[in-house]
Structure 1
Amino acid sequence: MVDTDPRRSIPRTDHLLALPEVIAAGESRSQATIKAIISEAQSAARAGDIPVAEVAPTVIRNVTTRSASSLTPVLNATGIIVHTNLGRAPLSAAAKQAVAEASGYVDVEMDLQTGKRSKRGTGAKQALLRACPRAEDALVVNNGAAALLLAVTALRGDNVLADNPASEIIISRGELIEIGAGFRLPDLMATTGSRLREVGMTNRTHLDDYAQAITGQTASLLKVHTSNFRVEGFTSSVEIAQLRELADEHGLPLIADLGSGLFEPVPALPDEPDIASALAAGADVVIVSGDKLLGGPQAGLILGRSDAVQRIAKHPLARAMRTDKLTLAAIEATVANTENPVQEALHIDVDRLQERTERFAELASGVVVAHDGRVGGGGAPGVPLPGWAVELPEYFAAELRKGDPAIVARVHQGRCLIDLRCVPEVEDQRIVDAIARIRGADLVDIEPGDDSRLLDRLKHHLGDGDEDSSEQ
């Protein structure tokens, strides 16, 4: 018996490495990368995912066109502005330009006038202070968790016993949050060597709860915005202004972790705290994330009183948590310029959004439905952003994710929902074209004359289960 398994004909690695296009690609790509691309194509052929005849063309295509990074750009059609799984905030045009300019040699720690070493991140700090006049000083570290860890480690009250390194951080039980991927605030605090002193109840905490917990081992008072959940009903919490009086009475620093990163109050998000208000209320330092409502890169921002921020900046841990030149450039550009995709999506013209959605639905043969967007990233939990989406059959979501461009829609109750809130308007037609390609590819396997199968498939595309679907 003759073995006719086509997989025995898969091109050998040395033959594929000898292809002229592969040799040319070797001038810019590493041999390890090229060999990995070849191995992927061979494995796909062995698994039957691609024909053996497509191995060489696939290798040539991937070595010549594949992105330098494994990250795939996507169009966010979910309606969630700060989508953690999609990299949170998209950078503004100004921030992208700043990152590109900072990618080479830059004067990040040099005074070009004197030729001597200068302080790091001065431009980003000045931009933050201009945006928030309430703050006396500012510091940028690599993320929000690092900022909180650094602040509670560096700031200790005057009454902490010098010969006893153990200290306590007082926090309300209602603020012991868990964020994404099972990351819990108490676990982070435990790494500082301090203990969390939990006060109050999950739903109700009073000022007297804090006062009774203060001892000679109390290091600081910590106020944390719960960000990704809300407790409603019979509730009570202590505001920053009340905690300020208690902190002054006992010589304690007051740290406020706000999370999302608003400089000023936003009417559309009435319960979302902002940096200026927290500092005005008396927080010594305020901590926010750069890649949430601020609309910049991942970073932890610490703003507040000069003496407190300087204590944090001079702590040995600050060196381990400092951020790089690209983040500093992006933060400065984000804060110094008004154009910002996150804020534009948050304050989108709803009338224009409805017009776009209706036109999109007509071109894509979809149905317009009411759809609330969300801030996402732990910001403004439960606050709807009224809008619309185009409804398609559920299977479109998977096909759109695998396309070029990759398009991420929302899947809800067995339907694919395309929300244009976070999609640049110039990209609308590309999504329409992607939908048309999916429809066309799904119909090509129907034999001529098979009218019943064609009708069933069209019903599936239209997503209409009523009695008049056959007429459509």
Structure 2
Amino acid sequence: MTSDPRRLVPRTDVLLAEARVAAAVGRLGRDLVKAVVTGVQQQVRAGALAPDDAADAVLAALPGTASSLHRVLNATGVLVHTNLGRAPLSAAALEAVVATGGTTDVELDLATGRRGPRGEGAIDALLAAVPAAEAAIVVNNCAAALALVATCLGGELVVARGELVEIGDGFRIPDLLVSTGARLREVGTTNRVSAADYTDAVGPDTGAVLKVHPSNFVVRGFTRSVEVAELAPLLDVPLVADVGSGLLRPHPALPDEPDLQTTLADGADLVLCSGDKLLGGPQAGLVLGRADLVQRLRRHPLYRALRVDKTTLAALEATLRGPQPPVQRMLAATVQELRARAEAVVAALPGVDAVVADAGARVGGGGAPEFELPSVAVTLPASCAEELRQGQPPVVGYTAEGRTWLDLRSLDPADDDTLVTAVRACTS
């Protein structure tokens, strides 16, 4: 009589007790590992896997971490790619996150043993980086910063029609502003607005004049806008500028991108931006400017709901104080450096249809929408795109002209060898 095949299936407790699997339980958690064990048992039961191979199959099927998110190599040529988590953190920022993952002195003055100001180090680093600012606060993203300003300053917000923009995923700035209870006083036309349009609209109910950087689109032709330096001297109400991408100071590679220091020096009372774009830090919304206005925001009840956690504060401070973050290195890379890297990648792929090609990279994240950064890519057969994307680690490029393009400007040089290994795996 043939024995029941179910008797050959390794028991759950036996597999979980296997030394290597037990170590994985300590790292990933029992529930996650047990779910993988159950799947492997099904394979054994179906005859697709030998019982003696069950433990090895469990280890092979386990994820690298307890999170469902994957590390991805960004070869898209988009430096700040929203779908890929925007700015990669610097090594200093990652170390700071790990160091503050446990208990930390986020609101404790160790010298006195009393409650201390939250995020003081990150705020000091921001003010050192942007000397034109008197004070600053940090919330969880730029939309939160805008919502807090609109709620706190209240009343009527004067804003140009051409700046009532829609950004990613159908998110519309006017919808956010109205949701706070603010009333919008639209001025000018879609393509033209004058200083008089603003000043004529300001009245006793005006809470602020708001300028929003269009970020991901440009209107050309018969246009007119009013810069902060022209508008600020004409107003007796707060002038708030949402500059978007978080460029701290002017950058030679992005001459038309607004920056925090210049915007404040030109007369803005408050500036808002994201922390995870050109600044190169974690997701955060930054508000810098006049001390009295920042204090009003800090004391508003909504601020409590929007404030960031200890790891964000630590990563932001380390980004500002530490070495140049990856996004800044990407911007600074020369075509010669990129070409040398691409040639080294191709040389490491003998027999593979890999070609070095000139490419055009983008800032991404709504920054410098029309500005193309000269770059260099490695191109492969079009069929490689899907295999690379589903590999370990996934490599995301783009397809054009019947080829898969892997742009090296958006890829950390330390990942070039990993890229070579991934290409070999999909072309072997």
Structure 2 length-normalised TM:
0.91
Larger Rg: 1
Alignment partner, residue 242 of structure 1: 230
Alignment partner, residue 133 of structure 1: 131
Alpha carbons 2:21, 2:55 under 8 Å: kept: no
d(CA) in 2 for partners of 1:42, 1:378: 48
Q: Secondary structure at the match of 2:241?
A: strand
Q: Provide closer, same or farther for how the CA distance between residues 34 and 222 of structure 1 changes in structure 2, counting only shifts above 3 A.
A: same
Deviations along 1:118-158, whole A, 9 cap, x unmatched?
A: 110110111111111110011111111111111121124xx
Q: Secondary structure at the match of 2:159?
A: strand
Structure 1 length-normalised TM:
0.83
The Cα of 1:44 is off from its aligned counterpart by 8.2
Alignment partner, residue 283 of structure 1: 268
Alignment partner, residue 61 of structure 1: 60
d(CA) in 2 for partners of 1:42, 1:237: 66
Alignment partner, residue 32 of structure 2: 33
Q: Provide closer, same or farther for how the CA distance between residues 168 and 357 of structure 1 changes in structure 2, counting only shifts above 3 A.
A: same
The Cα of 1:238 is off from its aligned counterpart by 1.2
The Cα of 1:424 is off from its aligned counterpart by 2.6
Amino acid at match of 1:201: T
Alignment partner, residue 73 of structure 1: 71
Q: Provide closer, same or farther for how the CA distance between residues 357 and 29 of structure 1 changes in structure 2, counting only shifts above 3 A.
A: closer
Alignment partner, residue 171 of structure 1: 159
Deviations along 1:45-88, whole A, 9 cap, x unmatched?
A: 99x9x94447664323334x631221111111111111111111
d(CA) in 2 for partners of 1:79, 1:10: 48
Q: Provide closer, same or farther for how the CA distance between residues 222 and 51 of structure 1 changes in structure 2, counting only shifts above 3 A.
A: farther
Alpha carbons 1:10, 1:52 under 8 Å: kept: no
Alignment partner, residue 280 of structure 2: 295
Alignment partner, residue 221 of structure 2: 233
Alignment partner, residue 144 of structure 1: 142
Alpha carbons 1:228, 1:380 under 8 Å: kept: yes
Amino acid at match of 1:359: A
5 Å matches for 1:214-229? 214-229=202-217
Alpha carbons 1:392, 1:417 under 8 Å: kept: yes
Alignment partner, residue 396 of structure 1: 384
Alignment partner, residue 163 of structure 1: none
Q: Secondary structure at the match of 1:267?
A: coil
Mean Cα displacement is larger for which, 289-298 or 104-113? Answer: 104-113
Q: Does 1:273 align with 2:273?
A: no
Mean Cα displacement is larger for which, 331-340 or 52-61? Answer: 52-61
Q: Does 1:368 align with 2:356?
A: yes
Alignment partner, residue 331 of structure 1: 316
Amino acid at match of 1:118: G
Deviations along 1:236-283, whole A, 9 cap, x unmatched?
A: 1111123223322xxx21111001111111121111001111111111
Alpha carbons 2:137, 2:287 under 8 Å: kept: yes
**Fraction of identical pairs, as percent:** 53
Mean Cα displacement is larger for which, 29-38 or 425-434? Answer: 29-38
Alignment partner, residue 431 of structure 1: 419
Alignment partner, residue 160 of structure 1: none
Amino acid at match of 1:374: R
Q: Provide closer, same or farther for how the CA distance between residues 395 and 40 of structure 1 changes in structure 2, counting only shifts above 3 A.
A: farther
Alignment partner, residue 352 of structure 1: 337
d(CA) in 2 for partners of 1:26, 1:373: 42
Among 99, 102, 105, the alignment partner of 1:104 is 102
Q: Cα RMSD over matched residues?
A: 2.6
The Cα of 1:98 is off from its aligned counterpart by 1.3
Alignment partner, residue 188 of structure 1: 176
Alpha carbons 1:78, 1:409 under 8 Å: kept: yes
Alpha carbons 1:142, 1:299 under 8 Å: kept: yes
Q: Does 1:306 align with 2:304?
A: no
Q: Does 1:340 align with 2:339?
A: no
Q: Secondary structure at the match of 2:360?
A: coil
Alpha carbons 1:261, 1:294 under 8 Å: kept: yes
d(CA) in 1 for partners of 2:339, 2:308: 41
Aligned residues: 421
Q: Provide closer, same or farther for how the CA distance between residues 39 and 247 of structure 1 changes in structure 2, counting only shifts above 3 A.
A: farther
d(CA) in 2 for partners of 1:144, 1:330: 17
Uncovered stretches (5+) of structure 1, i.e. residues with no partner: 1-5, 157-166, 441-472
Q: Secondary structure at the match of 1:171?
A: strand
d(CA) in 1 for partners of 2:218, 2:42: 48
d(CA) in 1 for partners of 2:413, 2:193: 46
Alignment partner, residue 463 of structure 1: none
d(CA) in 2 for partners of 1:40, 1:203: 59
Mean Cα displacement is larger for which, 30-39 or 343-352? Answer: 30-39
Alpha carbons 1:173, 1:198 under 8 Å: kept: yes
d(CA) in 2 for partners of 1:433, 1:313: 49
Alignment partner, residue 211 of structure 1: 199
Q: Secondary structure at the match of 1:372?
A: strand
d(CA) in 1 for partners of 2:18, 2:99: 36
d(CA) in 1 for partners of 2:39, 2:233: 63
Q: Provide closer, same or farther for how the CA distance between residues 28 and 363 of structure 1 changes in structure 2, counting only shifts above 3 A.
A: closer
Uncovered stretches (5+) of structure 2, i.e. residues with no partner: none
Deviations along 1:286-307, whole A, 9 cap, x unmatched?
A: 0011000000000011110111
Alignment partner, residue 253 of structure 1: 238
Alpha carbons 2:78, 2:363 under 8 Å: kept: yes
